[in-house]
Structure 1
Amino acid sequence: MAQETVSAQETVSGPADWRAAGDRIDTLIAASAAGGAVARERSEELVRLVTDFYGAGLERLLGLVHEHGRLDDEVLAALAADDLVASLLLVHGLHPYGVETRVEEALESVRPYLGSHGGDVELLGVTADGVVTLRLLGSCDGCPSSSATLKLAVRSAVEAAAPEITGIEVEAPAAGGAGGPGPLVTVDSLFSRLHEAASAPGDGGSSWEAVPGLDALEPGGVRHFTASAIPVLACRIGSDLFAFRDWCARCERSLEGAVPARRLGGASGDGVLRCPGCRAHYDVRRAGACLDEDGLHLDPLPLLVDGPTVSVAVPAPVSA
């Protein structure tokens, strides 16, 4: 029987490698099942023992740094900001920030997208058994985004920041409370249990695709690219990034050549895209609503910013 070996070149040495290491471990454990149940149990026990061993070392390391007065807020922030270190600390229950702090930071990362739809989300708390409770605020103001896309944007961010949570519940604003607008989308359709599949094959769900270099887009800049065969237009208004399908709702042509401009008489920070073909105007901050014709709008796509990495949620094709 041929034996599988691992060369020095295959050891975990960089970000791309360690992100795939977990999948590789799962693959090797599954392959060990070919040797029977006993072989698989031994493989799983080996992984547990090694994990516990390194976990104890990490805990002792943090203890020593703390004893010497070096584990200050700056160091804690640096540890939490490093994806690899933060992942290891999460596995061993040693992350410097509690689950509520991490969930709030995750929500902060998607607030620019929710804000572009006139909405927001508030963290109400996390129960002892790990259920996150949120409240939706604001309204879509005619936003065309689907509940599935909004669900993907928020849920993916929360899951990445706090994988130990067991579910997400959404509390609707009280009827007539403060005279505020209703929720972004129908609450019942927005969230399902965290660990359910994001979408079934062919159901028109969405998936994330990283866009290299998009974080470097300058204010007022526009970039056209393709994500999962879908043409996309991204632009930056002030410090906020926005993305839409590169498709004019009126003339059904690309917006190639459009640049964001301030609306006449508008407030500072406004952003309007004008189609070079039919000259239709679209309000970037109002989810691409057309200013010239009611009922028309661009199709906004969620963006998720994780440090220097920006990902766009692109709809999956709908099967016939």
Structure 2
Amino acid sequence: MPDRLGEHDEAAIDTDRWRGAGDRIETLLDASSAGGVVARERAEQLVREVSDLYGAGLARILELVDPGARERLVADDLIASLLLVHGLHPHDVDTRVRAALDSVRPYLGSHGGDVELLDVHDGVVRLELSGSCRTCPSSSVTLELAVEDAVRAAAPEIESIEVAAAQAESTDSLISADSLFARVHADTHPVEAHGSWIVVPELAELGAGEVGGFVIGGQTVLACRVGDDLFVYRDHCPSCDHSLAGAALQRRVGFPVGDAVLRCPTCLAHYDAVHAGARVDGEGHLEPLPVLVRAGELSVAVPMEVAG
């Protein structure tokens, strides 16, 4: 299966660079401590002065632009993060969390599931997970790398996330957040510890009904487009333990437009490409990987256990 993953484009590189700006600033401040307490205090004061200057500039920009332009600014991840730092974001935490959940809802829907916001109180976000997503073999990947990533990016001030099962499906109370979510801000290297979002702009090249092989983070995956939606799976057939290289999308006889199954070219097992890779002619399940648009870039979440 060919490796279609190329170099990240300039925009993606810039985005990654600015995401690490906070860490680089802290490193420089720590280095200034070598010059003594006074040097450290002066460095911190310099950072505050520059930060206040840019904060005042951002506030003035928000006053001058019309509501439509303001919403476009807020939709940009980098600008939104700066507005949050300066306390200028026009949306409250509840609105931002709801928007974050809307961004991952199409992915959850492909698993036959959904997520709803119950409430946000005292820094705790409570969510309700419903549908077959709860029992999907990649549910931990979905939760940790998709839902939490989106929520924490939109509302970095939250302290924890709790998930409750839908009452119609289970009598269980709250599922321990510690068992489902990685505490992103508690780890020194959270991305490396649990997985990585990798920008894959080449996915956009897939046409409707097309299947392609990619190497992402050292892991060979199979990607396909059904209508406007993209789906990514680990390149492994659980039925015969072989690669899915050569698989093609097919529509089952009598099923509506939008139905799409992947047939393993080795054992001919059929998997529902739209609904989390569930096998339609027997037992088994492909291993789906989250694919989302992050900071305007198509990205795939490759967890540590998958990438090895």
> C-alpha separation between the residues in 2 aligned to 1:101 and 1:132?
12
Greater alpha carbon shift after TM alignment, 248-257 vs 271-280: 248-257
> C-alpha separation between the residues in 1 aligned to 2:202 and 2:103?
18
- Is 1:32 paired with 2:32? yes
Cα distance change, pair 14–316 in 1 and its aligned pair in 2 (3 A): closer
SS at match of 1:140: helix
- Is 1:191 paired with 2:166? no
Q: Deviations over 1:70-110 (max 9, x none)?
A: 522x2122111223322221211112222222212211221
Aligned to 1:297: 285
- Is 1:47 paired with 2:36? no
> C-alpha separation between the residues in 2 aligned to 1:141 and 1:116?
13
- Aligned pair partner of 1:252 in 232, 241, 251: 241
Bigger fraction of residues in helix: 2
> C-alpha separation between the residues in 2 aligned to 1:17 and 1:286?
35
TM-score, length of structure 2 as denominator length: 0.84
- Is 1:103 paired with 2:92? no
> C-alpha separation between the residues in 2 aligned to 1:18 and 1:47?
16
CA contact (8 A) 1:209 1:313 kept: yes
Aligned to 2:165: 172
CA contact (8 A) 1:131 1:167 kept: yes
CA contact (8 A) 1:166 1:195 kept: no
Aligned to 1:9: none
Pairing 1:72-151 to 2, within 5 Å after superposition: 72=67, 74-127=68-121, 129-140=122-133, 143-151=136-144
CA contact (8 A) 2:133 2:139 kept: no
The runs of 5 or more residues in structure 2 that have no matched partner are: 1-12
> C-alpha separation between the residues in 1 aligned to 2:254 and 2:171?
30
- Aligned pair partner of 1:214 in 197, 203, 221: 203
- Pairwise CA distance, 1:194: 5.4
**Aligned AA (1:51):** S
CA contact (8 A) 1:121 1:137 kept: yes
Larger Rg: 1
> C-alpha separation between the residues in 1 aligned to 2:148 and 2:135?
22
CA contact (8 A) 2:162 2:175 kept: no
CA contact (8 A) 1:136 1:173 kept: yes
- Aligned pair partner of 1:316 in 299, 304, 308: 304
CA contact (8 A) 1:118 1:141 kept: no
The runs of 4+ residues in structure 1 deviating greater than 6 Å are: 198-203
Aligned to 1:280: 269
SS at match of 2:22: helix
- Is 1:237 paired with 2:226? yes
Aligned to 1:71: 66
TM-score, length of structure 1 as denominator length: 0.81
- Pairwise CA distance, 1:131: 1.9
CA contact (8 A) 2:141 2:289 kept: no
> C-alpha separation between the residues in 1 aligned to 2:295 and 2:20?
19
Q: Looking at both structures, which has the greater relative contact order when contacts are Cα pairs under 8 Å and sequence separation is at least 6?
A: 2
- Aligned pair partner of 1:306 in 283, 291, 294: 294
Q: Provide the aligned C-alpha RMSD in A.
A: 3.0
Count, aligned residues = 293
> C-alpha separation between the residues in 1 aligned to 2:215 and 2:109?
24
> C-alpha separation between the residues in 2 aligned to 1:139 and 1:114?
9
SS at match of 2:201: coil
Q: Deviations over 1:256-288 (max 9, x none)?
A: 222222122222211100112221111112311
Q: Deviations over 1:160-187 (max 9, x none)?
A: 112122221223333xxxxx33499x82
> C-alpha separation between the residues in 2 aligned to 1:14 and 1:191?
28
**Aligned AA (1:268):** V
SS at match of 1:163: coil
Cα distance change, pair 91–141 in 1 and its aligned pair in 2 (3 A): closer
SS at match of 1:290: coil
Cα distance change, pair 140–58 in 1 and its aligned pair in 2 (3 A): closer
> C-alpha separation between the residues in 2 aligned to 1:15 and 1:200?
18
Cα distance change, pair 159–283 in 1 and its aligned pair in 2 (3 A): same
Aligned to 2:5: none
